[in-house]
Structure 1
């Protein structure tokens, strides 16, 4: 069957005025094929400021929604996070609106909402956000590139560090980077060495690779979105080198392993023959993607690009293109189940009342410890 691209812009409703602001930021610039239709929220001062600044209507009840909404982005905590996001997603699907819902979700909710969408002839996606940021996409794409160059060789090892609130997206990053379409193939077990800060977890991947996940052991229940010791840090390792997502928004680094077959030669010194050996001209570390300069840039630029990319992919699928692996219903359900598997094997998060972290600045501090390329001795 031949399908034709829609000639009209699809009207997008954002649901939720907290992290939903990042979704609204996707419309800080024009997005061909997409039109911001409004904000559904409770009517707080924050939501009123947002609709004023974006020039769109504020709806406080589902019954107020117009009939021409095409896509709803539900950016409200789901049932598993003691929110009403999953119920809102179901009600929007029942109104004939396609839904993109912000993570995390219990797999029972994912399965129920997928079935409801299928029954209504609609699309339902879970957006884990971070794999779709420029840094996340770079890390995933470069991992694919490395594996292709190495004859489809999987990483021999992986290290991941994250917090409870970002575990879902960390697992999504790992599965996509390693090209694993089914999270049920991953075997989960805890490791020895837990302390008051992190719990180590083994993730046995197909083809023999084992990822070691360090999961933060505590959170502040009064502010669960904050206080991650590490939001995302992930490295994939091959004998050729290792690929690192240093933080949620970058940078992404490739560190190729140094190897000089004649390093132990008794016949010549390094400085004499180094100019003739290609290995010495290779970079010690390559920056494949820079981090944004400020947190404001992270939310208003990189976050906006990520959300816009998800919505544009969503529209392409509505126009008949193939569903990307990361949004395939079976993949998304298996991811949610893997997330729950990890949470089931680790101890419950310790609850702590935490103060805002101290800000460390480098103004006036000496950060250059010696000249570039210098050595001691």
Structure 2
């Protein structure tokens, strides 16, 4: 019988391993101070790590062996998994052998996930992967409206664009979005001279077109993506789009010209009286500062509260483990088809002056009912 490590009441005593993306976990934990106590940051000792430890008033440890298992309930491992060339799996297994529950940030290879789930079971602890993207407000809004379309209309196709660095969370998003996320059938992959590959096939029985920005700067792999996620669902009445991971969500009605009605005298209630494109929810997405400081930590907090519910016995983790295994299989199929990214060590960032773009756009005279950008 598998008996999970007994939880004693009180805050979940937590360590964070890795400070690059780990700083978002530190912020999430600090906002959930009634549920979690941050015991330490474990990192290599970089200047960023020192600043993180100082900012959150916690010890900075340089070695995972410095953890006292009797004083730690949960480890947040924000490192690449073993198959991805990192020490995430190694550290996860070490922590679970010491009786510490683990949440590990994506991506994680199917073999690593299976190994970690077996280790969790044998050591009577819990293991889950973290994915903040499915908890973001824009995606939740998109998924809610999409569910209505799936229930009431015939969805005709899926159109996706993404950077391959965020292909793992895309698969998790599609598992939550589609009525049936299996199978993923890939028919063709086209790689031309541009930065995008084009993949066609079917996902969950729906025709699929996917454009993937499959390039990486090896010196700065977390940056220089042309986009994160764009997802569109098309049906006979129009197209629902998540225009970016952080929104907005847009409904674009399909143009349908009536045959038996004069266009100069369109009757009330006709679809032609509706806006051709509508933003569903907030019209303008948040700034990146708000996204990084607030939305991401809040979304990470959802996963932290999930593993807390498993630790305390409030919820059972079996369904989540099943879905995570499905995710790793689909992710392998997708990334295997796209192949390794092209290396672009010369990729650089240039800030665009948004005020200049607004000025140029406003130089074009507005039509009588058109509102200029303010």
Instruction: Please give the range of the TM-score, normalised by the shorter of the 2 chains.
Output: 0.7 to 0.9
Equivalent in 189, 192, 213 of residue 191 of structure 1: 189
Report the alpha carbon displacement of residue 372 of structure 1 after superposing the two structures with TM.
6.4
Contact 1:74 1:101 in 2 (8 A): yes
Equivalent in 213, 218, 234 of residue 216 of structure 1: 213
Q: 1:139 to 1:105 in 2, by over 3 A?
A: same
Equivalent in 60, 66, 77 of residue 74 of structure 1: 77
Q: 1:291 to 1:317 in 2, by over 3 A?
A: farther
Report the alpha carbon displacement of residue 6 of structure 1 after superposing the two structures with TM.
7.3
Structure 2 Cα separation of the partners of residues 57 and 80 of structure 1: 30
Report the alpha carbon displacement of residue 214 of structure 1 after superposing the two structures with TM.
1.1
Q: 1:34 to 1:227 in 2, by over 3 A?
A: same
Equivalent in 16, 19, 26 of residue 17 of structure 1: 19
Contact 2:131 2:300 in 1 (8 A): no
Report the equivalent of 2:360.
366
Report the alpha carbon displacement of residue 201 of structure 1 after superposing the two structures with TM.
1.5
Q: 1:312 to 1:203 in 2, by over 3 A?
A: farther
Report the equivalent of 1:309.
302
2:277 is aligned with 1:287: no
Secondary structure in 1 aligned to 2:160? Answer: strand
Secondary structure in 2 aligned to 1:367? Answer: helix
Report the equivalent of 2:169.
169
Instruction: Return 41-50 or 60-69, whichever deviates more.
Output: 60-69
Contact 1:245 1:251 in 2 (8 A): yes
TM-score (ref. length: structure 1): 0.86
Contact 2:32 2:301 in 1 (8 A): no
Q: Deviations over 1:171-207 (max 9, x none)?
A: 22122111336x5x2222333464431111234223x
Q: 1:310 to 1:372 in 2, by over 3 A?
A: farther
Structure 2 Cα separation of the partners of residues 189 and 129 of structure 1: 30
Structure 1 Cα separation of the partners of residues 23 and 38 of structure 2: 12
Q: Deviations over 1:290-328 (max 9, x none)?
A: 664321211110101110111112222333344589x72
2:289 is aligned with 1:296: yes
Aligned residues: 360
Contact 1:135 1:291 in 2 (8 A): no
2:325 is aligned with 1:333: yes
Report the alpha carbon displacement of residue 32 of structure 1 after superposing the two structures with TM.
3.6
Structure 1 Cα separation of the partners of residues 197 and 107 of structure 2: 20
Report the equivalent of 1:178.
178
Structure 1 Cα separation of the partners of residues 300 and 14 of structure 2: 12
Contact 2:150 2:179 in 1 (8 A): no
Report the equivalent of 1:265.
260
Q: 1:313 to 1:145 in 2, by over 3 A?
A: farther
- RCO higher in structure (CA 8 A, sep ≥6): 1
Report the equivalent of 1:39.
41
Structure 1 Cα separation of the partners of residues 151 and 210 of structure 2: 25
2:203 is aligned with 1:205: yes
Q: 1:192 to 1:53 in 2, by over 3 A?
A: closer
Contact 1:161 1:214 in 2 (8 A): yes
Report the equivalent of 1:134.
137
Secondary structure in 1 aligned to 2:31? Answer: coil
Secondary structure in 1 aligned to 2:75? Answer: strand
